[in-house]
Structure 1
Amino acid sequence: MSRNKLLAFIISTLALLSGCQSMADEATIGVPGRVVNTDRSIIILNASLNGSGVSGTGGQECCMSIPAKWKPGMTATLSWTKDPSPDINPDGKSAPVIKNGISTPEWKAWMANHRKNYRTIEKTIPLPKYGETCGVTFIFLPCDGIRIVIDCDEKYSLFKDLPGGKEFYAELARRAGGAKTCR
């Protein structure tokens, strides 16, 4: 392993460990993670639980680290980065058109300004109870609500018989306890 790769590995390991205060000295397991965004007005860029996370692309990714066994009183640091206005810059300008899939200098300049919109939110939450796990599912709800699902039975009951199409996200948000109006 090259010196740079070793240094990067050590730094990333230390960063991961520093976010796990409440889970220190716990045996962990690797599980897949997935982001489901029910708030269609924003984009979730990434989400993590104690520094172990996934991108916001919506597909299942490997791997996150969680305690092998849930215990009462466990907490976790939940963090996510969102784009609250995907098509508008802080100065009110819309994104320029990309032609033939090629980033233009105008688009690159727009994106450099657009990143100022991004917001990172961090919360300490009780780690939800789980027995058998199917991974970590981050369900993003309207008004910065979020529900973490780790237990297989809970995930199955939330996602069972969801309608397709436009109703999918609204029904999932309702089942997951999402707010109907923001305060």
Structure 2
Amino acid sequence: MFNNKLLAIISTLALLSGCQSMADEATIGVPGQVVNTDSSINILNASLNGSGASGTGGQECCMSIPAKWKPGMTATLSWTKDPSPGVNPDGKRRPALPNGITTPEWEKWMKIHEANYKKMEKIIPLPKYGETCGVTFVFLPCDDARVVIDCEEKHRLFSKLPGGKNFDFELIHRMGGRAVCQ
């Protein structure tokens, strides 16, 4: 009986050692940035295991990631999206803010609008990285969200992207995403 319990414990530990998460790792602080290629939505915020950035597009400091990447690492990628920027589910457009001052009409509209926000989450394999330039959250159409952490990978994906309307299409293409959802 003792040998069966010991065998069960050893088997369980062997199974668990194959699934490494970011927990209990030495960490470093890096900037975070959101890149949204889906013009039909707004990304309000994104995080990797609870550490993240707002959807404003600029780099923000600081997020925590493991100091060294190891095979098998996973992370929880979470984000909040506004699925209908500027329009409520009933089709009403955002009211104007006279002189930037909120009105009761605007506050009522925003309450309805914020109830429409969607919280999304998925477990992802943590992409391999050596030298890091921070975490770049990339949002592709069809709720396809990815993270780029490695400097060389970020340079490969983002270097020489065209400006304007072609920026999003080319980045979607480079990342292997779909431009149109089914």
Query: Structure 1 residue runs of 4+, over 4 Å off?
Result: none
User: Structure 1, residues 126-183: CA drift from partner, whole Å, max 9, x if none?
Assistant: 0000000000000100010112100000000101101112211221121112213212
TM-score (norm 2): 0.86
Contact 2:30–2:134 (Cα < 8 Å) also in 1: yes
Counterpart check, 1:103 vs 2:135: no
Equivalences for residues 52-71 of structure 1 within 5 A: 52-71=51-70
Aligned residue in 2 for 1:152: 151
Amino acid at match of 1:143: C
Q: State the Cα RMSD in Å.
A: 1.1
The two structures have a TM-score, normalised by structure 1, of: 0.86
Matched position secondary structure for 1:93? coil
The equivalent of 2:162 in structure 1 is: 163
Correspondence list, 1:131-142, <5 A: 131-142=130-141
The 1-side partners of 2:149 and 2:100 are apart by 37
Segments of 5+ residues of structure 1 without an aligned counterpart are 1-20
Aligned equivalents of 1:177, 1:102: Cα separation in 2:
43
* Structure 1 residue 23: Cα displacement: 1.7
Aligned residues: 163
1:125 corresponds to which letter in structure 2? Answer: I
Q: Which AA in structure 1 matches 2:97?
A: I
Q: Choose 1 or 2 for highest CA Rg.
A: 2
Match of 2:113 in 1: 114
Deviations 1:75-115 (A, max 9, x none): 00000000000122122211112222222111111001111
Corresponding residue of 2:171: 172
Identical columns (%)? 75
Whole-angstrom CA distance in 2 between matches of 1:86 and 1:170: 20
